[in-house]
Structure 1
Amino acid sequence: MAAGNFGDVIKHMILLELVDVLTPKTKSGGNFNYFETHGSKMSHQVKRSSSSGVVRLCNLYHSGHPILQANLNSNKYLNFIHQYFTQAPASIDYFSSWYLVNAFLTTKEITPRIDVCEINRDTYLDTIKAINYKFPTIHYSNTEGYSLLKTYLSKGLRPSLVLIDPFYSGSDKEVQVSVSEVNHIVEVLDFYRIPFLVWYPVYSKKLKFNFINANNHIEVDNNTNNAASHMNSTGMIFSNNISHHVLGIRNDILFLDHLGLGWKVK
């Protein structure tokens, strides 16, 4: 999937809204430990000529869409990526989940610890150069995310939030393995009462997670005729100990229904 796609936009929008409600409302400092199991690069180039989700939002901004304009300040994600809307180069840098969380927490004067796992060696080497020593709060590891997370938990580390964002594409067998791994690590996180989010896409059929229920997830349909979208819908599953935030965050993103993009919050 291309960076900045429909799935990325929804994932990042829900993620930043949740991080906001899990951290202090006032600029009084504090700490927040964020762990991401499958990290990828710090940023990806997204062409302005593409039909990706973030580019479609940019186009709405430049057309003066009143509902988008009305939500720029109140929605944490839109407010934070507003820079993409005001610039007009041929391509934009679309940042990853972990970079957005780190930067967002910094604006709240909260000291983050960001742990990110990337199993691909080439991706790791490229990204660690980009991080260099500019981001001392980011701990970027060339390792398998679930194993490192279990190691951290065994040593007493208790993340404030874990994002489980695995690779779901590939053969049916590979997808089944990925879902099985998610179901297993969720059992571990539940045991330690660690808050978590699980991102998932929906293509032709639902993925079968053991822990999903009617009250612990937000899903957004992608009812667009755009052939480049592929993804029928996408969602985020909340751990039970933070599922009380689902209704509020769902209400915060209901404006997506009225942008004319064919997106529908469920």
Structure 2
Amino acid sequence: MNYRHAYHAGNFADILKHWILLRLLDRLTAKAKPFFVLDSHAGGGFYDLAREATIRTGEAARGIARLLPHAAGAPESLRPYLEVIATLNADEPALRWYPGSPYLTATHLRECDRLIACDLQSGEGAVLRETLKPFPRAKAHMGDGYAAVPSMLPPPERRGLTLIDPPFERRDDYDRMARATKIGVTQFATGLFALWYPIKDRARAVRFLDALPRPAGGLAAIDFAIDHPTAEGGLKACGLALLNPPFGLVDEIAESLPWLVEHLREGEGATAHIDWISRPE
């Protein structure tokens, strides 16, 4: 499959990963010690939902545009994410702007924190540089995000998050992500890792999770579907694996997932849950 960020900005998968990203950043900023974020497949980092390609897919209209009118009744965990989107669009007559993970991370950096956001595509990389230009503690890196994991971990800050969110343009992306994560955990055993993956075939997703390391802080996996996943056609389900998730975060996510399912469902197969693959030691 081909999951280029710009074409799918603001869809159900973005909602899941960006909500969780903000919850992880909130935990990191709760302590005074500096932290480092590595965003391995960052994309352009900021998106105009009025672009023809985005309008044509209709994914933002079925995603974030459906959630915002119900923001007042959202679970507390989801409100900061929805408030960010609403604030960015406060001066627009309709929903237009959507932030990617590099922008969301950069806006949460303190003077002691750092972000390195990677992208291999020159076009996306140029947009990424512009996105991060206002943020002195955030840098764009043009290169293979998988290779960035062993070369940039562990960071000197000794605290941090690695987000791996590839576009799945290659059939071996599951395997490459699992290998990179194994190396990352070996080199940075206490780091947080968040791994996004599409679910077209649940058996393949299970094999991917089985291939991941089991760090001391545990491995939890979110499964989120707006309908039954199918091998062909548009994406209907995705997962997010969390390695070393902060204490209490899994329970917080579990409490909020039913609300997302209720407001984003597209069929009888809509469901969501988070399970411990391996519990913290």
Aligned amino acid, residue 121 of structure 1: S
Query: Are residues 250 and 232 of structure 1, via their aligned partners in 2, closer, same or farther at CA, if it must alter by over 3 Å?
Result: same
Q: Is 1:232 paired with 2:232?
A: no
Could you report, residue by residue, the CA deviation over 1:141-175 in whole angstroms, capped at 9, with x for unpaired residues?
A: 11112223322226756451000111214xxxx32
The equivalences for 1:1-266 within 5 A come to 1=3, 2=7, 3-24=9-30, 30-47=33-50, 51-53=58-60, 56-59=63-66, 61-62=68-69, 65=70, 68-71=71-74, 74-75=77-78, 76-83=80-87, 86=90, 88-89=92-93, 92-103=96-107, 105-106=108-109, 111-132=112-133, 134-153=134-153, 156=156, 158=158, 160-169=160-169, 174-175=170-171, 177-191=172-186, 192-193=188-189, 194-205=191-202, 206-207=204-205, 208-209=207-208, 210-211=211-212, 216-223=220-227, 230-240=234-244, 242=246, 245-259=249-263, 261-262=265-266, 263-266=270-273
Query: Are residues 218 and 60 of structure 1, via their aligned partners in 2, closer, same or farther at CA, if it must alter by over 3 Å?
Result: closer
Contact 1:217–1:246 (CA under 8 A) maintained in structure 2: no
> In the aligned structure 1, how far is the partner of 2:155 from the partner of 2:76?
40
Equivalenced residues, count: 248
Could you report, residue by residue, the CA deviation over 1:167-186 in whole angstroms, capped at 9, with x for unpaired residues?
A: 214xxxx32x2111111111
Contact 1:203–1:233 (CA under 8 A) maintained in structure 2: yes
Deviation at residue 253 of structure 1 after TM alignment = 3.5
> In the aligned structure 2, how far is the partner of 1:90 from the partner of 1:61?
11
Could you report, residue by residue, the CA deviation over 1:117-151 in whole angstroms, capped at 9, with x for unpaired residues?
A: 1111222123324433x211111011112223322
Aligned amino acid, residue 264 of structure 1: T
Paired residue secondary structure (1:81): helix
Task: Point out which structure has higher relative CO (alpha carbons under 8 A, 6+ apart).
Answer: 1
Query: Are residues 53 and 234 of structure 1, via their aligned partners in 2, closer, same or farther at CA, if it must alter by over 3 Å?
Result: farther
Contact 1:197–1:237 (CA under 8 A) maintained in structure 2: yes
In the alignment, what sits opposite 2:279?
A: none
Contact 1:58–1:85 (CA under 8 A) maintained in structure 2: no
Deviation at residue 38 of structure 1 after TM alignment = 0.7
> In the aligned structure 2, how far is the partner of 1:123 from the partner of 1:60?
27
Paired residue secondary structure (2:120): coil
Paired residue secondary structure (1:235): strand
Paired residue secondary structure (2:19): helix
Aligned amino acid, residue 84 of structure 2: F
Contact 1:37–1:145 (CA under 8 A) maintained in structure 2: yes
The answer for unaligned runs of 5 or more in structure 2 is 274-281
Paired residue secondary structure (1:218): strand
The answer for unaligned runs of 5 or more in structure 1 is none
Q: Identity rate of aligned residues, in percent?
A: 21
Query: Are residues 53 and 223 of structure 1, via their aligned partners in 2, closer, same or farther at CA, if it must alter by over 3 Å?
Result: farther
Paired residue secondary structure (2:26): helix
Query: Are residues 20 and 6 of structure 1, via their aligned partners in 2, closer, same or farther at CA, if it must alter by over 3 Å?
Result: same
Q: TM-score normalised to the size of structure 2?
A: 0.74
Contact 1:220–1:233 (CA under 8 A) maintained in structure 2: yes
> In the aligned structure 1, how far is the partner of 2:30 from the partner of 2:157?
21
Q: TM-score normalised to the size of structure 1?
A: 0.78
